[in-house]
Structure 1
Amino acid sequence: MNLLSEITAIVQTAGPLLIDRFSADARPADADAILAAIHANDDAVLALIKEPLLAAVPGSGWVEDELEGGDLPPGEWWIVDPVEGNINHIHGMTDWSVTATLVRGNEPVLTVVHLPLTGDTYTALAGEGAFLNGRPLTVSAKTSLAAALVATGQAKPGESAETFQQIGRSMTAMLTSSLVVQASVPATLRLIQVAAGRMDAFWQYSDVRSGLLAGALLVREAGGTVTDLTGKSWTLTSPNFLAAAPTIHQAALDALTKCD
């Protein structure tokens, strides 16, 4: 079994567990209940997949805080979100997944995004393409931002007032420049749509690694363009993020930079 197949199988083992823990009727009553449910989900999944992932890549490290940003030390590291979109899972909504991304030299080199409710699995290897259930993915061929479906969202609770203001200004700019704007979480579930060509662009004011790495690799490998909001290639130290079909990337960049 090759490494991608092995990692895919490990990530998919979390599917039945999360489906069993999922209820469409879930309605946590307050912030304490929300945090307790989120931590319980995370702990349950990590108990299942953490050790197998580490064993699959001997010597690899594990990033404990999924909300961290910035460069990693030398070597290979796992960036894992045990329930990407956990807030949706515990409120009975369907937009959630399990993600595992291997980072080498501060570049994502392998990723698996599994959606247990649909059974879909998105995978990518650096230099070898992006796939949905083994079928190649290709980004949108649209050439007009005016016809584009675009999306953004906050990276985590408690962002700064400045970040919230940037998000608001950017949404206004895109509402006047594109066809439809979505604002939702998690980022990964918007980025898989960009990689699949169903959506055309996603941007975010954030350096949170776990929500962006998997989607960044998928979009790049599907032929998309991934930069920061100055147009430079996106890295783990970039303060913001834009992934788009190459045919509308510059137009999206222009619209977003005018709002700052």
Structure 2
Amino acid sequence: MPETLRNASVATTSAADAELLARTAVAVREASSVLRERFGDVVEYRTRDELMRALAANDDAVLDILRPRLEALRPDAQWVGEEQELDGGALPSGEWWVVDPVEGNVNHLHGLSEWAVTATLVRDNQPVLTAVHLPLTGETYTALAGGGAYLDGRPLRVSGTADLGLSIAATSQARPDEDEKVVRRVGASITEMLIDALVVRIAVPATLHLLNVAAGRIDVFWQFSGGRADLLPGALLVSEAGGRISDTQGRPWTLASESFLAAAPGVHADAVATLSR
């Protein structure tokens, strides 16, 4: 293909994806309204089955609105559901919607404010666009591959800090009932980061920490666990805001990686050194 035609094709694709992102953000905001209406008192449960039913009820309420809207936007795209593990880490070729209808669902049930709705389009295993909406604040974070990261239309940029000792770092529990070796690895990494960083924040969900990295509010986020599709929205936001994404050893991160690190460029190497001890 001649270079001029190739460039025109890329520009057309980018424009089409930008429009798709705008429509995705609208769909996510519309679906989020039902979740806001369901928020309030702590939801009581006495067994794991009751907990799972309460989580599923939240998911279903959002998906009843969100899924048909996303499927209308991209009828041929396949679907990766909330918290789905990926066989071998990779998706088959083509387009996939990666959706978490209630990122931080357990927080929602407990009357805590840290939860969101996310939708990310992945094309041939590369995240193309993402929209993350926080219903309680009304904020919408968006990112387009090669097109930057934004909060309600305002550009995001990671922090310029170059001293891990002056940094706020954060981590998150990937899932309940994690393998004991992973749990002990998480605990050891928190100890090391407490020694080297200024402050360490520990909470779920991961995406909200990554929004803060993209916005320059915190400097480092790390997590141990493989095949986490729910890291894709934050990974795209951070990378488009100028941050660095890798595993905790500094190697390129993929959905097959066993760890994840997002950091401001000035502290990435030091964070790798801390987490590699």
Answer with 1 or 2: which has the greater Rg: 2
Residue 102 of structure 1, CA deviation? 0.5
How do 1:1-260 and structure 2 match up within 5 A? Answer: 2-64=19-81, 66-69=83-86, 70-258=89-277
Equivalents in 1 of 2:237, 2:96: separation in Å?
18
Query: What are structure 1's unaligned runs of at least 5 residues?
Result: none
Equivalents in 1 of 2:228, 2:69: separation in Å?
21
Q: Is the contact between residue 74 and residue 105 of structure 1 (CA under 8 Å) also seen in structure 2?
A: yes
Structure 1 stretches of 4+ with a deviation exceeding 6 A read none
Whichever residue aligns with residue 250 of structure 1, its letter is A
Classify the secondary structure of the residue corresponding to 2:149: strand
Length, aligned pairs only: 258
Q: Is the contact between residue 81 and residue 100 of structure 2 (CA under 8 Å) also seen in structure 1?
A: no
Query: What are structure 2's unaligned runs of at least 5 residues?
Result: 1-17
Residue 63 of structure 1, CA deviation? 1.3
Q: Using the TM superposition, name which of 116-125 and 45-54 deviates more.
A: 45-54
Classify the secondary structure of the residue corresponding to 2:276: helix
Residue 237 of structure 1, CA deviation? 1.2
Equivalents in 1 of 2:36, 2:45: separation in Å?
17
Residue 93 of structure 1, CA deviation? 0.4
Classify the secondary structure of the residue corresponding to 1:80: strand
Higher helix share: 2
Equivalents in 1 of 2:117, 2:99: separation in Å?
8
Whichever residue aligns with residue 183 of structure 1, its letter is I
TM-score by length of 2: 0.90
Equivalents in 2 of 1:197, 1:170: separation in Å?
22
TM-score by length of 1: 0.96
Equivalents in 2 of 1:190, 1:66: separation in Å?
17
Whichever residue aligns with residue 160 of structure 1, its letter is D
Classify the secondary structure of the residue corresponding to 2:70: helix
Whichever residue aligns with residue 222 of structure 1, its letter is A
Whichever residue aligns with residue 210 of structure 1, its letter is A
Equivalents in 2 of 1:102, 1:239: separation in Å?
22
CA RMSD in angstroms, aligned pairs only = 1.3
Equivalents in 1 of 2:190, 2:49: separation in Å?
31
Residue 151 of structure 1, CA deviation? 0.6
